Amino acid sequence: MSTAKENILKRIKQALAKPVPLPFPESDEKTAIFETPQDELDVTFAEAFTQLQGKFAFCFDEKDMQQQLQQLITDKQWSKIYCKEDRWNEQFSNTINLATSDAAITGCECLVARTGTIVLSAAEQSGRTVSVYAPIHICIAYTNQLVFDIKDAIELVNKKYNGNIPSLITFASGPSRTADIEKTLVTGVHGPKEVYLFLIDTPPNN
């Protein structure tokens, strides 16, 4: 064994013999780190989501959503819409080929208001690839799917699946982006170039 390696192992052994005390021994892991905002969660989400270059649309009900979404499809001249969601397939889907689609429609597990994040999972009908493969991702969600923080989202998913968490959980915050090349931010590199979120107002009892 080399002298350098012996010295490293010796230092590790000494450090383990005298563990460093916790910096905040009286801290409570259940205490929220971020202060809950004064605004409603839908307003907080909309502000965070649009700051991340997401396209947000508030809908009073499902009929309003269908009208707004159909108008968007017409304005953008998208002719191939991919959707595996039973609830929206009949109204919007007109292609079975995700690879050549203009846009794809999905639901979601929930929405994180603080970060403007769409939470998706492999357990949903759309599966793993729909939200990242098409050039345009359109997500349809309801106000009762809003949670404040990521911790709340994980707890919600864990409760929904009775502790059997899906094999993949995706946290999508706006269009895909990277700044790897000369620290210049570029969007739409390894995923959708645009992300639309249609938020449907849900009555309190729903």
Identify the pLDDT of residue 73: 97
pLDDT tens digits along 134-157? 999 999 999 999 999 999 999 999
In-domain check, residue 170: yes
Asked if residue 91 has pLDDT above 90, the reply is: yes
pTM: 0.80
In-domain check, residue 48: yes
3-state secondary structure the chain: CCHHHHHHHHHHHHHHHCCCCCCCCCCCCCCCCCCCCCCCHHHHHHHHHHHCCCEEEEECCHHHHHHHHHHHHHHHCCCCEEECCHHHHHHHCCCCCHHHCCEEEECCCEEECCCCEEEEECCCCCCCCHHHHCCEEEEEEEHHHEECCHHHHHHHHHHHCCCCCCCCEEEECCCCEECCCCCCCEECCCCCCEEEEEEECCCCCC
Out of 32-41, 53-62, 169-178, the most confident range is 53-62
In-domain check, residue 27: no
In-domain check, residue 18: no
In-domain check, residue 119: yes
CATH number reported for the structural domain that contains residue 64 in this entry: 3.40.50.10420
In-domain check, residue 17: no
Q: Please give the residue range of the domain that contains residue 103.
A: 38-180+187-200
Into how many domains does the chain fold?
1
In-domain check, residue 109: yes
pLDDT tens digits along 180-203? 666 666 665 677 899 999 999 986
In-domain check, residue 30: no
